[in-house]
Structure 1
Amino acid sequence: MSTIGPFAEPVAGCKPAAPPTLTADQQTKYEQFLEEVRSWESLPTTKAGTETATLSDDERLWLTRECLLRYLRATKWNLQQAITRLRATAVWRREFGTDTFTADYISEENAKGKQVQLGFDKEGRPCLYLLPQNQNTKPSQKQVEHLVYMVERTLDLHPPGQEGLALLIDFRNTGAGGTPPMSISKQVLDILQSHYPERLGRALLTHLPWYVTAFLKLIGPFIDPVTKTKIKYNEPLTDHVPASQLMTASGGEVDFKYDHSIYWPALADMAAERRRQRVERWEKAGKIIGESEIYLWGGEEGSIGGKKEVAPEANGAEKVNKDVKAPAETNGTTSGGDTALVDGVANLDIKTSEPVKPAA
């Protein structure tokens, strides 16, 4: 089959396992965390903290139940550290401008298709291809913004119940210049370990040249042990991704040709429509902090609080969705991860002076 745009859904049956329920202690910590976050009326606009601004609706929508649980898992259920890290991320998103990058602004960075969201793996994770052979710009801050933009768009498309993504990094035909400078690599790694915890489900690296292998050995001491278990080298990609949603160049059945004039607006439009639907559901349910991502992403779960969403029955009557049960966790070996890669460099955790090192 051939395609020139992103797939809308995973292959039937490709979905994550149901998460285990929280323990009593975890439930208590989650409720305390939620109470704290719901008390946030304003936050600093920069890390310096000289000015503050009221939380926007976009920020309140981002503070989902699963978002809070990801930070609790990443800090091994240390409540205070989870609060500190989540607050730091909220401020970083403001200062970095995460929600302000438009498709038009980022467009030039992806003109040759060096990053492509296409298909879903066997657990329903959206796949983000990193293809450094298609690098078309010189190292700059905009390359970092480009990666963040693509991670955000990829997460926009995950199916209900899935929180992570899969990275497919193909180094074939990549010159030595395909690896970014260490300064950019460290910035990206810091961003992704600190502000995208529990998001990396799998990183599949193929066709590694010797200099990339050497680079990975060089930074090996900085790789979190949990992250290492998620990085696979030169494995058949069909072991992880259905052939019907995998590029032929990667061993699949999809004859994908990157046409920027078609693919780029198609990805932006699909992500924007998914977000529009989430906003609509969130508003109908009362615009609460701590809403269920399963509900927001269109899954078979009602709103966890606020107004009940009313859906029409087939006979014209109305049906009210029930509230869901207690929040569920996806434990320490999660389907998500907190690291990623930029233009062919594996996303790895950098050791920091934090009391608890975030796990992938």
Structure 2
Amino acid sequence: MASNAGGDAGEGEWLKVAQMRAVAEAQDPHAKEVDNLTLRRFLRARDHNVEKASAMFLKSLRWRKEAAPGGSVPLDMVQRDLADDKVCMGGVDRTGRPILLAFPANHLSAKRDMAHFKSFIVYALDNICARIPRGQEKFLCIVDLKGWGYSNCDIRAYIAALEIMQSYYPERLAKAMMIHVPYMFMKAWKMIYPFIDDVTRDKFVFVDDKSLQEALRQEIDESQMPDTLGGKLTPIPLKNYTRSLSA
């Protein structure tokens, strides 16, 4: 059911959320099942334009019914991508936001199935968003490009992942720290960049190797830092994290 709690929204913003709810519920009864914080994220993603935010939200509801029938992504759609360890769950940053680690070098464009890959992105985003604690709305992502090469370059897949995140998980990404970035990746980035919306672009931060430890420690305590990056916490591959939840 809808909740009126949360955040530092002013009265005017909550009034627009209420307007959004009225518009959405008139067109799709399932909107009643969505809380006000979710509506507020869509509102903020469309610069507080109620009409645009409502359209974005209603589109998301329709998409969700197809992308996650029954409320979740079927495991048989993501097993191949899970096996490649493209994503791991980390600890939390200094503000309590959960950390998602992505390893694009474990993605091979030649073996990618687009439908399955899109399901995998939804699966990963659903899992990291489920970890976001009360009082927070976003997660931190560390994109480790160590070992990335031409066999991993998959522009269509990268754009598809960005479009899913931007369109259906607005205001969830706090920051994406791009680390161990090889020079050749910047050529791919130039092709991806035009497909990123203005708000999301500012969240991608490229960190050079010399500044890496300082940048990481500004965001993450050593106890929550991945051990692969000099910390004390062992990240959990998404496939194992899923098993631990179902155990």
Please report how far the alpha carbon of residue 105 of structure 1 lies from its aligned counterpart in structure 2 after TM superposition. Answer: 4.2
Aligned position for 1:111: 83
Aligned position for 1:92: 63
What TM-score do you get using the length of structure 2 for normalisation?
0.83
Aligned AA (2:173): L
Please report how far the alpha carbon of residue 240 of structure 1 lies from its aligned counterpart in structure 2 after TM superposition. Answer: 1.1
Q: Which residue among 136, 144, 147 is the counterpart of 1:173?
A: 147
Q: 1:223 to 1:40 in 2, by over 3 A?
A: closer
1:269 aligned to 2:242?
no
Aligned position for 1:82: 53
Partner Cα separation in structure 2 for residue 263 and residue 87 of structure 1: 31
Aligned position for 1:132: 104
Asked if the contact 1:170–1:205 (Cα under 8 Å) also holds between the matched residues in 2, the reply is: yes
Q: Percent identity?
A: 25
Partner Cα separation in structure 1 for residue 169 and residue 84 of structure 2: 26
- Name which structure has the greater RCO, CA cutoff 8 Å, separation 6+: 1
What TM-score do you get using the length of structure 1 for normalisation?
0.59
Aligned position for 2:223: 244
Deviations 1:220-240, CA, capped at 9 Å, x for gaps = 344434323322222432221
Which consecutive residues of structure 1, in runs of 5 or more, have no partner in the other structure?
1-17, 43-54, 271-360
Please report how far the alpha carbon of residue 142 of structure 1 lies from its aligned counterpart in structure 2 after TM superposition. Answer: 0.7
Count the aligned residue pairs: 233
Report which of the two has the higher share of helix.
2
Partner Cα separation in structure 1 for residue 176 and residue 238 of structure 2: 25
Please report how far the alpha carbon of residue 147 of structure 1 lies from its aligned counterpart in structure 2 after TM superposition. Answer: 1.3
Alignment of 1:1-360 (within 5 A): 19-23=7-11, 25-40=12-27, 42=29, 55=30, 60-61=32-33, 63-97=34-68, 99-103=71-75, 105-135=77-107, 138-140=111-113, 141-180=115-154, 182-234=155-207, 235-236=212-213, 237-256=216-235, 258=237, 260=239, 262-266=240-244, 268-269=245-246
Q: 1:132 to 1:219 in 2, by over 3 A?
A: closer
Q: 1:74 to 1:255 in 2, by over 3 A?
A: closer
Partner Cα separation in structure 1 for residue 47 and residue 179 of structure 2: 32
Choose 1 or 2 for highest CA Rg: 1
Give the 3-state SS of the residue equivalent to 2:134 in structure 1: coil
Asked if the contact 2:73–2:122 (Cα under 8 Å) also holds between the matched residues in 1, the reply is: no
Aligned position for 2:3: none
Please report how far the alpha carbon of residue 26 of structure 1 lies from its aligned counterpart in structure 2 after TM superposition. Answer: 2.5
Partner Cα separation in structure 1 for residue 231 and residue 10 of structure 2: 38
Deviations 1:231-263, CA, capped at 9 Å, x for gaps = 222243222122211211122112457595x44
Which consecutive residues of structure 2, in runs of 5 or more, have no partner in the other structure?
1-5
